[in-house]
């Protein structure tokens, strides 16, 4: 997994990810509602809901907001019915881009996403055109200064991790299957390991390095996509670094 695209990691370090609190709550609220609708309202028996509720608490989302989002999913409260959709396309330099969205009107969202691609030097592709270029993985970042590599390796592998990457100068990076995500998170927390970032993410199989000019174009496209209200997550196969995102 070494050398994967670190879009979310870089944004996290810079404090740039979803800077508007209201937008964070909206995205997490949608995820909670969908998760509860699909798997029931109990986080103990619904892994997706448990992850969404953990994210909500980490973002300091009020408990009442969380409760209402769950109740909208279980049908105890009325609410907008969202549908999960994905969009796939290419950015400047031909790099793959994969988007997860939740919408109450696909006929509105699709042309709006297409317009964002067109306006920023990319093009929206057909379903399946880039999905095969990514692997869905659980991901954790841990501050290098808080634990030794040997100790973290022991804890992570015992909990079921696939890999521990050490190429980042600031963080150890743990990768796992999505199914093992909660076991590993619990295992790290039980051992007192401070997690700086944890997520289910899409890892590009072959990250594509870009010159600074193309990287800036891709970043503008990614940021424009993320600003769309229906977009939950966006990933790119571009290999971006912090200097390019400065």
Q: What is the pLDDT of residues 118-130, one digit of tens each?
A: 999 999 999 999 9
User: Residue 53 belongs to a domain with what CATH number?
Assistant: 1.10.10.200
pLDDT of residue 2: 45
Mean local confidence (pLDDT), 143-168:
90
In this structure, the answer to whether residues 155 and 43 fall within a common structural domain is no
Per-chain mean pLDDT for the chain: 89
pLDDT of residue 3: 46
Point out which residues pair with 174 in neighbouring strands. 140, 164
Query: Reduced to 3 states, what is the DSSP secondary structure of residue 174?
Result: strand
This prediction's pTM: 0.85
Q: How many helices (H) and strands (E) does the chain have?
A: 8, 10
Nearest to 96 by CA among 116, 123, 114, 136: 123
- How far from chain centre, in Å, is Cα 231? 11
Q: What's the pLDDT tens digit per position in 39-78?
A: 999 999 999 999 999 999 988 999 999 999 999 999 999 9
Point out which residues pair with 199 in neighbouring strands. 139
pLDDT of residue 23: 80
In this structure, the answer to whether residues 66 and 94 fall within a common structural domain is no
> What's the rounded Cα separation, in Å, for the pair 170 and 226?
26
Q: Is residue 2 part of a domain?
A: no
Residues of the domain holding 97: 83-132+206-239
Q: Is residue 246 part of a domain?
A: no
In this structure, the answer to whether residues 179 and 215 fall within a common structural domain is no
Q: Is residue 1 part of a domain?
A: no
Task: Judge contact between 103 and 82, C-beta under 8 A.
Answer: yes
Q: Pick from 19-23, 47-51, 166-170 the range whose average pLDDT is largest.
A: 47-51
Report how many domains make up the chain.
3
In this structure, the answer to whether residues 196 and 212 fall within a common structural domain is no
In this structure, the answer to whether residues 65 and 182 fall within a common structural domain is no
């Amino acid at each position: 997994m070494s050398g994967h695209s670190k879009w979310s990691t870089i944004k996290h370090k810079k404090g740039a990810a979803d800077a508007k609190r209201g937008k964070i709550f909206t995205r997490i609220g949608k995820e909670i509602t969908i998760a509860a609708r699909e798997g029931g309202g109990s986080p103990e028996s619904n892994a997706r809901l448990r992850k969404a509720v953990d994210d909500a608490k980490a973002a300091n989302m009020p408990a009442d907001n969380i409760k209402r989002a769950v109740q909208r999913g279980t049908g105890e409260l009325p609410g907008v019915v969202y549908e999960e959709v994905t969009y796939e396309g290419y950015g400047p330099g031909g790099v793959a881009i994969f988007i997860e969205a939740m919408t109450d009107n696909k006929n509105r969202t699709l042309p709006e996403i297409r317009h964002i691609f067109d306006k920023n030097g990319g093009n929206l592709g057909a379903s399946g055109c880039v999905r095969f270029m990514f692997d869905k993985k659980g991901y954790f970042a841990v501050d290098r200064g808080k634990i030794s590599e040997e100790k973290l390796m022991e804890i992570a592998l015992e909990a079921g991790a696939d890999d521990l990457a050490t190429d980042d100068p600031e963080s150890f990076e743990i990768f796992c299957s999505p199914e093992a995500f909660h076991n590993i998170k619990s295992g790290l927390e039980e051992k007192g390991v401070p997690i700086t970032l944890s997520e289910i993410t899409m890892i590009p199989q072959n990250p594509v390095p870009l010159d600074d000019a193309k990287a800036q174009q891709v970043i503008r496209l990614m940021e424009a996509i993320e600003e769309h209200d229906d977009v939950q997550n966006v990933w790119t196969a571009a290999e971006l670094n912090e200097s390019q995102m400065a």
